[in-house]
Structure 1
């Protein structure tokens, strides 16, 4: 078995969109610590498990619609894909348990159940996109920890809303659609951008007490740098995701829709960076954002969808 086949099965590079969930959650919950990297690794394992499980569950559909995928192409067996998904799931749960004990598992266990439930039962039902959105939201809460769910809820809802739009759009990436579907996704991207921007502005005003104080601090070099850390990733998110969705609105054919879905997956990275920066976690935001060019480069070799 070629290693490349396994990489394609789990969409390995796409996991670069996962650690940012945990870091955004930790930033919101003020729970950065030794367990944070381990929880990010746990989330990556669960993401890869979901990808392998996806191809296992869709093997008959893929044989007709996507014969180049590893299982229908004969590069890996369905049994191997299921075994890999099971092993990665066990690894994800085990890492979380070692890192955070029962408190971590209080979030990791529902996240795991959502991943498996989506792939084995909910994906092709009307509840499918909502289930995927729930998984992303839980991944953010995974980083915050069971005791800090409320402060991380806005970030979780934001990631869930973006995921809902991308997942709904992905349902037509093989068949194509009319313009309304990508137009709805584009409107969701605009809404997420506005929500994050407004929330960030409100939080900064509340923290400093007056807009005049905020304006004065913004004149300092540190103020400008922090503003850039907050706003630049959000601008990258809006332009990278929005541009692909505009192209899909103009030409809602499979190829353009696939590009829009891929851009939506990769666009999670700058969105996560902006969410972390809005909570003052500038180093984490920069770390997350550094993965974006690498993820884009690798996506040209291994499709994230």
Structure 2
């Protein structure tokens, strides 16, 4: 098996959408970046790749008809090898979680693993499929919050970004069911409405963070800038992330509403996988972690370029 075939099997560039889950949760909990957070990111990336390999193992028969170019149905990667890769990456993900956070690391990694394997091996084609994938991303964000601060307060603070990432993932998974045959217009119309609401909710400031606090110049009352009107660095990053999210995923969904063909739905799904990154940047910035959010924003165009070489879907 060539390295390029392995990269296609696990959709390697799409994993760039994973670190932002953990970072958004950690930022909400007040500690956006440390060694434990980096370990949790590594764990989540391994589990994401495991899910991609397991997906191709489970879908080998269907893919032989619908996606014969994929590594398994094309014969470039044996089916049993895909399963072995999934198992190995799962073990690596759980191992990294323990190495970074001890047994506490399994509080997020084990549920995430269970959701991934349940989705790929049984729930994907059922009505519970979109909710299962949404739950997986939700757990990933909460894992970041717990890694930063293993307290009930951290979970509470991480709940809002986790719910918004979960909402995005639900729309994406619902759309992905129509990549082959196209969708009824109501499907992309509904997902566009939900993702637009998600973007607007993500842009709302969080009380008590840097994104809601602007400096006030009391020395010149006539020209003083009030907190309500000041544009802070956090506000700038948040606004940029929101617009980038809507410009990529939102625009692709709008195109699918006008023409819900299979090709347009696939483009919307691809845009949504990587479009999660500016949403994560928005959530991270509004929690006050501007530099981390800006880094996510910088990586997004790189991920889109890499996706032209290796499809994220």
1:47 maps to 48
CA shift, 1:218, in A, is 7.2
| Deviation digits for residues 236-265 of structure 1 (CA, Å, limit 9, x no counterpart) | 001111110011011111100000001111
2:159 corresponds, among 145, 153, 161, to: 153
What count of residue pairs does the alignment treat as equivalent?
302
Partners of 1:233 and 1:273 within 8 A in 2: yes
CA RMSD of aligned residues (A): 2.2
2:145 maps to 144
2:190 maps to 184
1:8 maps to 8
Correspondence list, 1:152-301, <5 A? 152-198=158-204, 200=205, 208=213, 215-217=225-227, 223-301=231-309
| Deviation digits for residues 14-67 of structure 1 (CA, Å, limit 9, x no counterpart) | 000000001001001123422111111111000000000000000000001110
SS at 1:267's partner residue? helix
TM-score calculated relative to the size of structure 1: 0.94
Partners of 1:21 and 1:143 within 8 A in 2: yes
CA distance in 1, matches of 2:15, 2:241: 19
CA shift, 1:286, in A, is 1.1
CA distance in 1, matches of 2:210, 2:144: 26
CA shift, 1:291, in A, is 1.1
Change (3 A) 1:202 1:190: farther
Partners of 2:20 and 2:296 within 8 A in 1: yes
CA distance in 2, matches of 1:132, 1:280: 28
1:98 maps to 99
CA distance in 2, matches of 1:11, 1:96: 22
Contiguous gaps of at least 5 residues in structure 1: none
CA distance in 2, matches of 1:16, 1:174: 25
Partners of 2:46 and 2:93 within 8 A in 1: yes
More helix by share: 1
Change (3 A) 1:186 1:83: same
